[in-house]
């Protein structure tokens, strides 16, 4: 099981503001890093999969970067909207297993 830490545990952001949060890992011995978006009462949905140091992915106003050398990934939300309110999960995959962090819960205030 791979160690995955996410911070902060939760954050509040005003509508229209941008925000970012972190997924950190002590070891880069994994195949891929995944970001999932998890809305209340729904199931997690995949946002990004990154495998290489320096990878950057973007989907609309959400983007992510991966730095395997320093052991972190950032997820950015630009111009937050109420529909961005969700828990964002980071996971590492290796040897047929996914290890999840506890998530960062984002609440966007109108």
Residues at the site binding other proteins, with contacts judged by CB under 8 A? 1, 31-32, 34, 42-46, 49, 89, 91, 93-103
Tokens of 32: 């891929």
14 or 53, CB closer to other proteins? 53
CA distances, 81 to each of 13, 32, 43, 93 (Å):
9, 28, 20, 30
**In the complex, minimum distance from the CB of residue 15 to other proteins, in angstroms, rounded to a whole number:** 27
How near is the Cβ of 17 to other proteins at its closest, in Å?
26
Helix (H, G, I), strand (E, B) or coil at 11: strand
Q: Which two tokens stand for residue 41?
A: 């009462």
Cβ 33 vs Cβ 97: under 8 Å: no
Closest separation in Å from C-beta 102 to other proteins: 4
- As a residue count, the chain comes to 110
Query: Which CB atom, from 95 or from 110, has the smaller least distance to other proteins?
Result: 95
Query: In terms of CB distance, is 86 or 101 closer to other proteins?
Result: 101
């Amino acid at each position: 099981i791979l160690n995955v830490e996410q911070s902060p545990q939760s954050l509040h952001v005003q509508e229209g503001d941008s925000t970012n949060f972190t997924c950190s890992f002590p070891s880069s011995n994994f195949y891929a890093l995944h970001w999932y978006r998890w809305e209340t009462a729904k199931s997690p949905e995949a946002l990004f999969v990154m495998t290489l140091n320096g990878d950057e992915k973007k989907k609309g106003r959400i983007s992510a970067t991966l730095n395997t050398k320093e052991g972190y990934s950032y997820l950015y939300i630009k111009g937050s909207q109420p529909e961005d309110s969700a828990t964002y999960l980071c996971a590492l995959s290796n040897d047929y297993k996914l290890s999840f962090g506890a998530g960062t819960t984002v609440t966007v205030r109108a």
